[in-house]
Amino acid sequence: MNVLAWGPPAAGLAITAAVAAGVLLTTFAIAVRRGLHRLVDIAWGIAFSAVAVVSYLLSAGEGDDARRLLVAVATIVWGLRLSAHIAHRSRGHGEDPRYAELLGKARGRRTWYALRTVYLLQAALVWLISLPVQTASYSTEPLGWIDAAGLTVWAVGIGFEMVGDHQLARFKTDPANRGRIMDRGLWAWTRHPNYFGDSLVWWGLFLLACTSWQAALISVVSPVVMTLLLTVGSGKRLLERHMAHRPGYDDYAARTSGFLPLPPRRGRAHAKPRK
């Protein structure tokens, strides 16, 4: 493993922070104009993609070209696919209940409360979670077996996301499934295949950044923070709170793993409503 030279990447950190903030602040302006803060979910993947593009450009002549390209493409593919999926899924819908609930707690002006607690926070998270992308771009280490492992983990993760999203979308298009709990395919093994896939993507990108002990030490914050966000932060916890009132959800939760894919446990009965 090479020792990462911190001069060039450190200089780029301020620029990528400005890029992340720029994407989220632009989204904030559009969301306020339209009165629809769920647009921030679409901007999430776009902001990561923008950071990846800028990191790739800034690291030209500094890092290994194959690694720079691989990390950038992997991040952009994940980010733009996620944004496109969320945009398609939310088309024609009103405000997300999560943001309606959050902004309902605002004291004073909801607009500035949203700016502080949603947009600026997400800009900071994009910058923090993208640290593996930024550090890997400046590494001069040629690709090796750890990178092959990282790419494999990334591929499994994005595969989980894509398959899980496709299965759920197809399930919802059938009118006979209205009000039922989705418990088929990957959703029979984990209640959140898309969130599990998300976490794997960032563990894979972390492995691509493990070219020195310094880079590994700094980059590990990324998959840890992303996994915590998905499991105990604004992901799984809030979604399950929203789903808890659905008929049949308690039975589904009792027999299905909450995050890691595991064989379904034997439920109390299979004559239950499905999602």
Q: Can you give the pLDDT at residue 69? A: 98
Give tens-digit pLDDT for 79-102.
999 999 999 988 877 777 777 777
Residues 10-42 pLDDT 10s? 778 999 999 999 999 999 999 999 888 889 999
pLDDT at 199 over 80: yes
Cβ atoms of residues 49 and 76 within 8 Å:
yes
Which of 129, 124, 111 lies closest to 21, judged by CA?
A: 124
pLDDT > 90: percent of the chain:
64
The first and second tokens of residue 66, run together, are 């194959």
Region 70-81: mean pLDDT is 98
Whether residue 205 contacts residue 154, with contact meaning beta carbons closer than 8 Å, is answered with yes
Contact between 4 and 215 (Cβ < 8 Å): yes
- With a cut of 80, say whether residue 2 has pLDDT above it: no
How far from 19 is each of 49, 66, 110, 113, CA to CA, in Å? 10, 24, 25, 22
More confident residue, 4 or 122: 122
Q: List the domain boundaries for the chain.
A: 7-255
- Count CA atoms within 13 Å of residue 205 on its CB side: 36
Q: Residue 110 CB: number of other CB atoms within 10 A?
A: 15
Per the prediction, the chain carries an average pLDDT of 88
Global pTM reads: 0.89
| pLDDT of 269 over the 50 cut | no
Cβ atoms < 10 Å from Cβ of 244: 10
DSSP letter for 176, please.
G
Identify the pLDDT of residue 275. Answer: 41
User: In DSSP terms, which residues pair with 127 in a beta bridge?
Assistant: none
Residue 141 clears pLDDT 80, i.e. is over it: yes
Nearest to 182 by CA among 89, 249, 274: 274
Task: Give pLDDT, residue 6.
Answer: 56
Q: For residue 213, which amino acid is it?
A: W
Which CA distances in Å does 61 have to 64, 67, 74, 142, 274? 8, 12, 20, 14, 54
